[in-house]
A and B are shown apart, each in its own frame.
Chain A
């Protein structure tokens, strides 16, 4: 990991010095123990603060989109002849590059506007799993030491293996190495258990319908509609979300449980052929809502029905923006 980090900082520094990028979007150490936060580096000498480790959770494509769209909006007030382009360098692990591919396919920015600094990924630490292991004790101090976490809580010191607290989406990730990159820091990471990627969905499918609904109801009853999931999601970039539109008001904002269910169904369904299973939404949810059981189903269907995986290749269009003349007629009702 240290070697990768070193190479990453060197490359980032070079890119900034040679003015090939205007900003590097990467990770830096967070302010709380055992966390990493997104970092925006514009000064070459600041590249020393970049980190790459198992604590880097959020999908950075979200911030690439934010930086590009903010710049574009600001440029609207500039005379056409004086407009500038901004090139964003991004530290890209597998899922981040898949989101970038999706953004490119959805024409959010062009390939020339981004430089991908690819990094191999071995998965990140799921804070909720760690908290369960620590029995909810607050982490006072923590350090990452190779494959282990050294954690200090009020109950004393503990050593936790990173492998024991990896996020569910990382354990079965098929794309833990960048799909596209301009530069690579480090050798490709070993494959994860991608043959098991749909096991959880299959298990859920096999439960009786009433149980499935009961589970969905129970999970969505936890949701407080803070919209953190949407804010964190690289695929949720609409300037105005349906959740806030008032003409028409698509979804009620009252106490009724069905409003939250409808909000979730629609946000999740908007992810059909667009969710890269980066786990960013799950990681930020303050209520621990299980979104992944539902999101992953769409991924499975898109693959099984249409042979499509989000962001697997630039030439493979998102599943709902294309069609074949003869396909999936079996759900059509014929009396």
Chain B
């Protein structure tokens, strides 16, 4: 199935789960400033990275996302003070765990990006899209029925 997707001119589909207070605004800034970045991300806005259930990431992969990007406020800048600090532990363990299971490590990416970093947001998206393109279409854990 995935070979067919490459033939059909496959382009990575990336679910970006981002925090409302920083990265979402950063994406907005990138847009207003007319900074170009690949159109492969589908942005999902959440109130804080602390709100992200690891299930969101695993489900996105199951539902056919080729990659997942999670981005929130830099440590120390979380709107809810410590949401991203708790999230960081959770994500660190999740990322290593998914890799351990044999899922490609580069399919899940975690980063920080503030509201003023439109430039950085564009760079992150380009970088992640490129990494996922290298991996090719997701085959593992993808629901087929």
Contacts and interface: CB of A to CB of B under 8 A. Distances in A.
Real complex partners, A and B?
yes
Interface of A: 204-205, 209-216, 242, 250, 252, 254-256, 258-259, 261-262, 265-266, 268-269, 272, 294, 297-298, 301-302, 305-306, 319-329, 331-335
Interface residues of B, number: 43
Top-7 shortest CB links A-B: A213-B102, A212-B102, A335-B127, A323-B85, A335-B123, A333-B111, A256-B145
Contacts of A214: 102
Interface stretch (B1-9, B15-23, B38-46, B91-99): B91-99
Q: Per DSSP, are chain B's interface residues mostly helix, strand or loop, or mixed?
A: helix
Given A254-B145, A258-B143, A265 B92 contact: no
B103 interface: yes
Which of A255, A320, A332 gathers most chain B CB within 10 Å? A332
A323 B123 contact: no
Contacts of B91: 331
Interface string B66-84: 0000000001100000100
Contacts, number: 115
Contact of B101 (A254, A294, A323, A326): A294
B55 A266 contact: yes
B118 to A, nearest CB: 14
Given A216-B102, A256-B145, A258-B144, A328 B88 contact: yes
24 contacts: A209-B104, A214-B102, A250-B59, A252-B143, A258-B62, A262-B58, A262-B141, A265-B101, A269-B93, A294-B97, A294-B101, A297-B97, A297-B100, A301-B93, A302-B93, A320-B93, A322-B86, A325-B85, A326-B75, A328-B89, A331-B96, A332-B88, A334-B111, A335-B120
Given A258-B62, A301-B97, A332-B111, 6 more contacts: A211-B102, A242-B55, A272-B97, A323-B85, A327-B89, A334-B111
A262 B76 contact: no
Contact of B89 (A211, A258, A323, A333): A323
